[in-house]
Amino acid sequence: MKELREKIQKEGTVLGENVLKVDGFLTHQIDAKLMSQIGQRFAELYKDRGITKIVTIEASGIAPAVFAGLAMDVPVIFARKQKSLTMNQELLTASVYSFTKQVTNDISISTKFLTKNDHVLVIDDFLANGQAALGLIELCQQAGATVEGIGIVIEKSFQNGRQLIVDKGYRVDSLARIASLENNEVHFIIEEED
Ligand code: 5GP
């Protein structure tokens, strides 16, 4: 997605060899107009897949997921990283190792929000080593729901997340794909239809 790549070039900063900071429009302050375009793009990509729910993980997956939910007119569920006292119902849970925080979180969704009749689009802000997306897929599997695909805002293609997910037979759609962050510069993979 050209607008997204331009925004990353203009406002993203590279930390070390493999982390991209985009807190000016995605992970802290949110560019709602860009998120709306991102939501519409996911809706277009999945219009023929009978999506009934969007599943993401707090916190930074929520903005793109909500705009996709608005564009597709379906509910959005975000997995929680910490159990809340009000979450006293039955839970679907999975363990996820966080790439940026370097801790393992048990993530959870209440069983009442996902059923075997659901067709899910999983959305997240970043795809690195795939642990967050695989955890969300696992929660959907526990509910017996069908995962129609994984929608990612920014994929770091030099890490192995995409491969792990594709190897499990899932579709992955990333709106920006980064080939490398070498020399503090963002190098994109640009696909034809982009
Ligand atoms: P994975 O689970 O695929 O290894 O990493 C994805 C998760 O880690 C995302 O939910 C995102 O929050 C975080 N993440 C991974 N790489 C980056 C990065 O380069 N920048 C930021 N801001 N977050 C990242």
Domain containing residue 29: CATH number = 3.40.50.2020
Output the residue whose Cα is nearest ligand 1's atom 22: 21
pLDDT of residue 17: 85
Confidence of residue 112 (pLDDT cuts 50, 70, 90): very high
Contacts of residue 106, Cβ cutoff 8 Å, sequence gap at least 6 = 81, 83, 93, 94, 95, 96
pLDDT of residue 16: 87
Query: Is there a domain that residue 33 lies in?
Result: yes
Looking from the CA of residue 19, the nearest atom of ligand 1 is 19
Query: Is there a domain that residue 136 lies in?
Result: yes
Domain containing residue 84: 2-179
Query: Is there a domain that residue 189 lies in?
Result: no
Q: Mind listing the pLDDT tens digit for each residue in 86-104? A: 666 799 999 999 888 889 9
Decide: 99 in ligand 1 pocket, CB within 6 A.
yes
pLDDT of residue 70: 98
Q: Answer yes or no: is 164 a known binding residue.
A: no
Report percent pLDDT > 70 for the chain: 96
Query: In this structure, how many other beta carbons lie within 10 angstroms of the beta carbon of residue 29?
Result: 10
Q: Mind listing the pLDDT tens digit for each residue in 35-57? A: 999 999 999 999 999 999 999 99
Per the DSSP assignment, residues forming a β-bridge with 170 are: none
Helices (H) and strands (E) in the chain, counts: 5, 10
In 131-165, which positions are buried (b, 16+ CB within 10 angstroms) versus exposed (e)? bbbbbbbbbbeebebbbbbbbbbbbbbbbebbebb
Both structure tokens of 89? 């119902």
With DSSP H G I counted as helix, E B as strand and the rest as coil, what are the percentages for the chain, rounded to 5? 30, 30, 35
Ligand 1 test: best mutation among 18, 100, 152, 172, most atoms within 8 Å of CB?
A: 100
Q: Mind listing the pLDDT tens digit for each residue in 121-174? A: 999 999 999 999 999 999 999 999 999 999 999 999 999 999 999 999 999 999
Domain count, the chain: 1
Query: Is there a domain that residue 186 lies in?
Result: no
Q: In this predicted structure, which of 75-84, 106-115, 130-139 has the lowest mean pLDDT?
A: 75-84
pLDDT of residue 89: 74
Q: Answer yes or no: is 128 a known binding residue.
A: yes
Q: Tell whether the model's pLDDT for residue 178 goes beyond 70.
A: yes
pLDDT of residue 158: 97
Query: Is there a domain that residue 128 lies in?
Result: yes
The arithmetic mean of pLDDT across residues 55-67, rounded, is 97
Angstrom distance (rounded) from CA 192 to CA 194 = 5
Residue 194 and residue 2 in contact, taking contact as beta carbons nearer than 8 Å = yes
Q: How far is the CA of 81 from the centre of ligand 1 (A)?
A: 14
Query: Is there a domain that residue 98 lies in?
Result: yes
